[in-house]
Amino acid sequence: MTLSSFSSHELDFIDDDEFHEECGVVGIWTTQDAASLTALGLHALQHRGQEASGIVTYDGNQFHTHRGLGLVGEVFDDPRVIASLPGGMGIGHNRYATTGETQLRNVQPLYGDFEFGGFAVAHNGNLTNAQLLKQSLVRRGCLFQSSTDSEVFIHLIAISLYSNVIDRFIDAIKQVQGAYSLVALSKDMLIAARDPLGVRPLILGKLPYSQDENSWVVASETCALSSMGADFVRDIEPGEVIIIDHDGVRSIHPFADNTSSRFCIFEYVYFARPDSVIENKSVYMARKKIGAELAKESHIEADVVVPVPDSGVPAAIGYAEASNIPFELGIIRSHYIGRTFIEPTDQIRNLGVKLKHATNRAVINGKRVILIDDSIVRGTTSKKIVEMVRAAGATEVHLRIASPPTQHSCFYGIDTPAEEKLLAHTHSIDEMCKLIGADSLGFVSADGLYRALQEDKRNNQNPQYCDACFTGDYPIPLTDHDMQLVKSK
**Better-scored residue on pLDDT, 470 or 210:** 470
- Catalytic-role residue among 23, 264, 466, 469: 23
Q: Are 269 and 312 in contact (CB under 8 A)?
A: no
Q: Report the pLDDT averaged over residues 356-376.
A: 95
**Better-scored residue on pLDDT, 386 or 339:** 386
Contacts of 199 (CB under 8 A, 6+ apart): 125, 179, 262, 263, 264, 412, 413, 466, 475, 476
Q: Are 66 and 385 in contact (CB under 8 A)?
A: no
CA distances from 139 to 24, 30, 135, 353, 364 (A): 32, 39, 6, 48, 63
d(CA 334, CA 428): 32
**Better-scored residue on pLDDT, 310 or 308:** 308
pLDDT confidence of residue 41: 97
Pairing verdict, β 263-264 and 178-186: unpaired
Segments making up each domain of the chain, as ranges: 3-261, 284-471
d(CA 403, CA 35): 38
CA distances from 25 to 62, 69, 213, 280 (A): 21, 16, 23, 19
What fold, for 284-471? Rossmann fold (3.40.50)
d(CA 320, CA 370): 9
pLDDT confidence of residue 80: 96
Sign of CA dihedral 475, 477, 478, 482: positive
Q: Report the pLDDT averaged over residues 85-91.
A: 97
d(CA 347, CA 351): 6
- Binning pLDDT at 50, 70 and 90, where does residue 3 land? very low
Cis peptide before 310 (omega within 30 of 0): yes
Nearest-5° angle of CA 235, CA 94, CA 132?
85
Q: Report the pLDDT averaged over residues 27-32.
A: 91
- Binning pLDDT at 50, 70 and 90, where does residue 348 land? low
Q: Minimum mean pLDDT among 14-28, 35-49, 76-90, 221-235: which range?
A: 14-28
Q: With 80 as the cut, is the pLDDT of residue 98 above it?
A: no
Q: With 80 as the cut, is the pLDDT of residue 488 above it?
A: no
Q: With 90 as the cut, is the pLDDT of residue 90 above it?
A: yes
Query: 3-261, superfamily in CATH?
Result: Aminohydrolase, N-terminal nucleophile (Ntn) domain (3.60.20.10)
Q: In 3-state terms, what secondary structure has residue 153?
A: helix
Q: Report the pLDDT averaged over residues 271-280.
A: 95
Nearest-5° angle of CA 272, CA 278, CA 281?
110
Q: With 80 as the cut, is the pLDDT of residue 369 above it?
A: yes
Q: What is the pLDDT of residues 312-337, one digit of tens each?
A: 999 999 999 999 999 999 999 877 65
Sign of CA dihedral 457, 460, 461, 462: positive
Q: In 3-state terms, what secondary structure has residue 137?
A: helix
Q: What is the pLDDT of residues 46-74, one digit of tens each?
A: 999 999 999 999 999 999 999 999 999 99
pLDDT confidence of residue 484: 81
- H or E element that contains 190: strand 190-194
Nearest-5° angle of CA 69, CA 72, CA 73?
110
Calculate the average pLDDT of the chain: 90
- Binning pLDDT at 50, 70 and 90, where does residue 1 land? very low
pTM comes to 0.90
Sign of CA dihedral 99, 100, 103, 107: negative
Q: Are 58 and 97 in contact (CB under 8 A)?
A: no
Pairing verdict, β 52-58 and 89-95: antiparallel
Q: With 60 as the cut, is the pLDDT of residue 349 above it?
A: no
pLDDT confidence of residue 6: 33
Q: Report the pLDDT averaged over residues 382-404.
A: 97
Q: What is the pLDDT of residues 148-202, one digit of tens each?
A: 899 999 999 999 999 999 999 999 999 999 999 999 999 999 999 999 999 999 9
Q: With 50 as the cut, is the pLDDT of residue 298 above it?
A: yes
Residue 23 known to be catalytic:
yes
pLDDT confidence of residue 16: 56
DSSP 257-316: T-----EETHIIIIIS-TT-EETTEEHHHHHHHHHHHHHHHH----SEEEE-TTTTHHHH
pLDDT confidence of residue 361: 96
Q: In 3-state terms, what secondary structure has residue 144?
A: coil
Q: What is the pLDDT of residues 411-430, one digit of tens each?
A: 998 878 889 999 999 999 99
DSSP 425-485: HHS-HHHHHHHHT-SEEEE--HHHHHHHTT-SS--SSS-SEE-HHHH---SS--HHHHHHH
Q: With 90 as the cut, is the pLDDT of residue 406 above it?
A: yes
Quote the percentage of the chain above a pLDDT of 90.
Answer: 79
pLDDT confidence of residue 5: 33
